[in-house]
């Protein structure tokens, strides 16, 4: 048994002992027919982690061009390196699901930002973003990725906010949230899959020497 | 329904010694104390029972269909989701806002966050547990505002001891004049940044930074296991390491054989006997069948949460009490308080090692800075009365706000940032014009008239938040923080989820609803044993004090039963 499993087993064994009277309560509470419908899917143990990988997936909200553009963009924002990137994490599918349930205002704002990307691309390169060369995509994104205001950079007096950066941040925010909440994203952050890792150790430095 | 060995007849055909309404932090204590003393108790809970099988603290977000962005939560809990603890994991524990409406006057928003389930908010509470001191109980005498409590620290201290010993509060003794020490389990550890802040703040300002005092076990205690540092307590705890009533006080009450639990009992009002000034019991609506039922008791004890207890009294008007039961003073519903939040500061400690680790134990606790304004040693502040305390923390975090994109963004996220922050909880002054009343045009899904809540924070609360922002920024600067962001806003009332007052205790029946033992001045067998009884809010998280007040009131009631005074 691995250390993690041992930890889990010991925690749960202790819990089971402590739980016995409470479980008796639970069983009498379960007499309520309404109870199951009053549990969240998570509380019923539903695991939705594989839904996006289902064969035959189709977007609920995005059209094909928007979906493909989002895949290309997500791959640029969080590319595969020595670890998988946003494309492998199917962030477009999660973003589509969440957007489909959003208010019309939020949906419109997202499509505006995605549309801005294509608009800039058409203006500068006469082609939609997803069809640009990698160099041109990079060139375009680089101009949007950092806050620039009016005629100069952030910090200049009298400058007005740069709408391009705002649109970039909307798209990047969605992609970041989708990626780092995915199973691939959790692994990217180094999580080993165990829920407990022993007591919190805290600072053990001598006084005045904390780094 | 369960409990009450040997009591096989219809639970509604009996007359109990005590009808306890609400099974949360205070109701659990009332049921335990009274039942263990041999009284026959019926405990009414508006929600269903809760089982450990529905705890989700170990489920990663990627298993949730919407990864905590569920439209069902948005649709059914638009108010509840303003609380961080209402999530796709557990939102069914919180009330459905569509079934549980309340109103507010234009321009006076109030967020009311509630659970209706066995244990109530003790399932998801923040667990911070602090004593109040005579600087709080006697605040009016010291600065001339409002009223003193009719009880002092000495009255409550033995009950704090008793509650802390049972609940298990981890913390560090500091000898602070504003924050009395208690019966602590070993404290959780502080991070390097927090220890640095503690040293620098003591050296530069003379103020104390301590580890949060929290109702989470740092060693096995009373049959519950010590914390395993998984992090998200608000989704339940399979080792019962944080205190919640269903698995502690309510369990004890049921084990005594003297307590009958009735779940799904939505209490609408207190019934009065033909004999003048005597409560007969309560009427409730079965949450599932909508049947109206009555349960009888020699005493009625409301522990339904401050505003719900007051709502029940306001909905119990009689010819004798046309403006709400036990309201000859007119004070019922008034002096609503909720700690003011929105002030503080955050920054980065650039010299600290970052590299956050997703596998590090997650400490479900932060640091605390006890009140240092308007204290005996600080003297009076020129711009405001009372004060605030900070909760906060410091540690390495993933840098999800890193700039740019591509491989460098991925790297920057993992390299992280050492963040440090302090957020204030300020005293909310008791004011007559912050109040609740019945909205005659609004009913909940069970036909029970709903509340209209009128509350604003005032100039003193705004001044507290202003000062708390500036002081937090100075403290972080003393610790060497960079990129310090100061905030001094006043968030909408209700955001602290520390509703207090509306049925205050006092010695004068003309000015208060309850006696110092939480008994109605008007109706001698009616009690309110929850935060509604508070005279002032102090700035400390109130649940520990609510529990101590409840246990004290129960001791008094048990004594009266023994002397056959009930």
DSSP string, A159-192: --B-HHHHHHHHHHHHHHHHHHTSHHHHHHTT--
Of B190, B223, B227, the CB nearest to A203: B190
Residue A26 confidence (pLDDT) above 80: no
Query: What's residue A163's pLDDT?
Result: 87
Q: Is A203 in Cβ contact with B240 (below 8 Å)?
A: no
pLDDT at B304: 98
- Count Cβ atoms within 10 A of the Cβ of residue A3 and give its class: 0-12 exposed, 13-18 middle, 19 or more buried: exposed
Using CA atoms, how far apart are residues B44 and B64, in angstroms rounded to an integer?
33
Residues of B within 8 A of A182 (CB-CB) are 62, 67
Looking at chain A, which residue has its C-alpha nearest residue B91?
Answer: A40
Q: How confident is the model at residue A206 (pLDDT cuts 50, 70, 90)?
A: confident
Instruction: Decide if pLDDT at A64 tops 60.
Output: yes
In chain B, count H helices and then E strands.
11, 18
Q: Which residues of B touch A211 (CB under 8 A)?
A: 192, 351-353
Q: Assess contact for B536 and B149: CB atoms under 8 A.
A: yes
Q: Give the Cα separation of B553 and B527 in Å (integer).
A: 9
Strand partners, A161: A149
Is B11 in a helix, a strand, or coil? helix
Residue of higher predicted confidence among A197 and B225: B225
pLDDT value of position A8: 43
Tens of pLDDT, residues A130-171: 999 999 999 999 999 998 755 555 555 555 567 899 999 999
Chain A hits for B54, Cβ within 8 Å: 39, 43-44
- pLDDT tier at A3 (50, 70, 90 boundaries)? very low
Strand, helix or coil for residue B55: coil
For chain B, positions 484-523, list CB contacts with chain A under 8 A. none
ipTM field: 0.91
CB–CB of B52 and A23 under 8 A? Answer: yes
What's the pLDDT score for residue A207? Answer: 75
Q: Is B283 helix (H, G, I), strand (E, B) or coil?
A: strand
Average pLDDT score over residue span A64-73: 98
pLDDT tens digits for chain B (566 residues)? 444 544 556 888 899 999 999 999 999 999 999 999 999 999 999 999 999 999 999 999 999 999 999 999 999 999 999 999 999 999 999 999 999 999 999 999 999 999 999 999 999 999 999 999 999 999 999 999 999 999 999 999 999 999 999 999 999 999 999 999 999 999 999 999 999 999 999 999 999 999 999 999 999 999 999 999 999 999 999 999 999 999 999 999 999 999 999 999 999 999 999 777 899 999 999 999 999 999 999 999 999 999 999 999 999 999 999 999 999 999 999 999 999 999 999 999 998 877 898 999 999 999 999 999 999 999 999 999 999 999 999 999 999 999 999 999 999 999 999 999 999 999 999 999 999 999 999 999 999 999 999 999 999 999 999 999 999 999 999 999 999 999 999 999 999 999 999 999 999 999 999 999 999 999 999 999 999 999 999 999 999 999 999 999 999 999 999 998 88
Q: Which residues contact residue A20 at a Cβ distance below 8 angstroms, ignoring those fewer than 6 apart?
A: none
Crossing angle, helix A163-180 and helix A91-100, to 10 degrees?
A: 110
Does residue A50 sit at the B interface (CB-CB below 8 Å)? no
- Average pLDDT of chain A? 83
**B-chain residues near A190 (CB < 8 A):** 357-359, 414
Q: If you average pLDDT over each of A18-22, A35-39, A117-121, which comes out highest?
A: A117-121
- The number of residues making up chain A comes to 211
- Kindly tell me the burial class for residue B184, based on how many C-beta atoms sit within 10 Å of its own C-beta (0-12, 13-18, 19 or more): middle
Residues in chain B: 566
> Around Cβ B153, how many Cβ atoms within 10 Å?
17
pLDDT at position A159: 54
Per-residue pLDDT at B276: 75
Strand bridging mode B259-262 / B388-397: unpaired
Nearest Cβ partner for B358 among A30, A190, A207? A190
DSSP string, A25-77: HHHHHTT-GGGGGGS-TTTTT---TTGGG-TT---SSS-HHHHHHHHHHHHHH
Q: Which one, of A85, A196, A1, A84, lies nearest residue B358 by Cα?
A: A196
Contacts of A21 in chain B (CB under 8 A): 251, 254-255
Which H or E run includes B559? helix B543-562
Nearest by CB to A28, which of B2, B58, B91? Answer: B2
pLDDT of residue A33: 43
A204 confidence band (pLDDT: 50, 70, 90)? confident
Residue A25 has pLDDT above 50, yes or no: no
CA–CA separation, A102 and B69 (whole Å): 10
Interface residue B477 vs chain A (CB under 8 A): no
In B141-251, DSSP assigns E strands to: 169-170, 184-185, 210-211
């Amino acid at each position: 048994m691995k250390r993690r499993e041992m930890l889990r087993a010991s925690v749960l064994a202790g819990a089971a002992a402590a739980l016995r009277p409470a479980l008796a309560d639970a069983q009498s509470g379960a007499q309520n027919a309404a109870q199951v419908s009053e549990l969240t899917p998570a509380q019923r143990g539903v695991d939705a982690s594989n839904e996006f990988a289902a064969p035959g997936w189709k977007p609920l909200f995005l059209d094909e061009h928007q979906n493909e553009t989002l895949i290309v963009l997500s791959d640029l924002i969080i590319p595969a390196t020595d670890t998988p990137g946003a494309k492998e994490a199917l962030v477009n599918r999660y973003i589509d699901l969440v957007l489909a349930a959003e208010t019309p205002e939020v949906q419109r704002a997202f499509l505006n930002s995605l549309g801005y990307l294509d608009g800039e691309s058409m203006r500068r390169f006469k082609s939609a973003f997803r069809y640009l060369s990698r160099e041109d995509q990079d060139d375009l994104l680089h101009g949007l990725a950092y806050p620039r205001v009016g005629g100069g950079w952030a910090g200049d007096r009298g400058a007005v906010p740069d709408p391009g950066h705002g649109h970039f941040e909307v798209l990047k925010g969605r992609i970041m949230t989708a990626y780092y909440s995915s199973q691939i994203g959790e692994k990217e952050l180094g999580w080993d899959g165990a829920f407990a890792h022993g007591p919190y150790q805290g600072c053990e430095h001598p006084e005045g020497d904390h780094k | 329904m369960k409990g009450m060995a040997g009591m096989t007849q219809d639970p509604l055909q009996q007359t109990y010694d005590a009808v306890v309404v609400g099974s949360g932090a205070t109701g659990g204590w009332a049921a335990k104390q009274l039942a263990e003393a041999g009284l026959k108790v019926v405990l009414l809970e508006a929600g269903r029972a809760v089982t450990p099988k529905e705890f989700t603290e170990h489920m990663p977000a990627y298993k949730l269909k919407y990864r905590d962005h569920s439209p069902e939560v948005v649709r059914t809990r638009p108010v509840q989701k303003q609380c961080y603890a209402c999530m796709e994991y557990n939102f069914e524990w919180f009330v459905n806002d569509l079934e549980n409406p309340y109103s507010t006057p234009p321009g006076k928003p109030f967020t009311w966050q509630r659970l209706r389930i066995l244990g109530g908010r003790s399932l998801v509470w923040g667990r911070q547990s602090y004593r109040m001191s005579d600087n709080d109980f006697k605040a009016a005498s010291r600065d001339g505002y409002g009223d003193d409590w009719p009880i002092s620290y000495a009255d409550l201290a033995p009950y704090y001891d008793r509650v802390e010993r049972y609940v298990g509060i981890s913390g560090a003794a500091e000898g602070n004049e504003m924050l009395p020490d208690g019966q602590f389990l070993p404290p959780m550890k502080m991070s390097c940044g927090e220890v640095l802040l503690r040293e620098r703040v003591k050296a530069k300002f003379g103020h104390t930074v301590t580890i949060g005092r929290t109702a989470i076990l740092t060693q096995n205690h009373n049959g519950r296991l010590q914390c395993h540092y998984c992090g998200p307590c608000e989704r339940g705890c399979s080792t019962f390491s944080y205190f919640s009533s269903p698995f502690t006080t309510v369990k004890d009450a049921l084990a005594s054989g003297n307590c009958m639990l009735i779940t799904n009992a939505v209490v609408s009002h207190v019934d009065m006997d033909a004999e003048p000034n005597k409560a007969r019991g309560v009427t409730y609506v079965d949450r599932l069948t909508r049947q109206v039922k009555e349960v009888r008791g020699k005493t009625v004890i409301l522990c339904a949460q401050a505003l719900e207890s007051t709502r029940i009294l306001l909905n119990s008007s009689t010819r004798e009490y046309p403006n709400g039961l036990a309201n000859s003073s007119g004070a019922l519903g008034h002096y609503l308080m909720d700690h003011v939040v929105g002030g503080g500061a955050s920054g980065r400690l650039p010299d600290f090692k970052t590299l956050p680790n997703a596998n590090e134990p997650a400490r479900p606790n932060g640091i605390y800075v006890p009140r240092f304004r308007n204290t005996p040693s600080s003297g009076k502040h020129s711009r405001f009365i009372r004060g605030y305390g900070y909760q906060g923390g410091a540690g390495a975090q993933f840098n999800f706000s890193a700039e740019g994109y591509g491989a460098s963004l991925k790297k920057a996220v993992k390299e992280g940032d050492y963040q440090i922050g302090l957020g204030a909880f300020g005293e909310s002054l008791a004011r007559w014009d912050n109040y609740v009343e019945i909205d005659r045009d609004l009913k909940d899904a069970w036909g029970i008239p709903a509340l209209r809540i009128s509350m604003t924070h005032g100039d003193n609360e705004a001044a507290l938040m202003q000062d708390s922002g500036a002081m937090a920024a100075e403290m972080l600067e003393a610790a060497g923080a960079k990129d310090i962001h100061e905030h001094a806003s006043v968030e909408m009332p209700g955001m602290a989820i520390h509703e207090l007052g509306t049925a205050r205790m006092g010695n004068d029946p003309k000015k208060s609803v309850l006696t110092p033992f939480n008994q109605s001045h008007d109706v001698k067998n009616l009690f309110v044993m929850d935060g509604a009884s508070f005279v002032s809010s102090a700035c400390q998280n109130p649940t520990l004090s609510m529990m101590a007040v409840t246990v004290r009131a129960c001791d008094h009631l048990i004594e009266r039963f023994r002397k056959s005074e009930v």
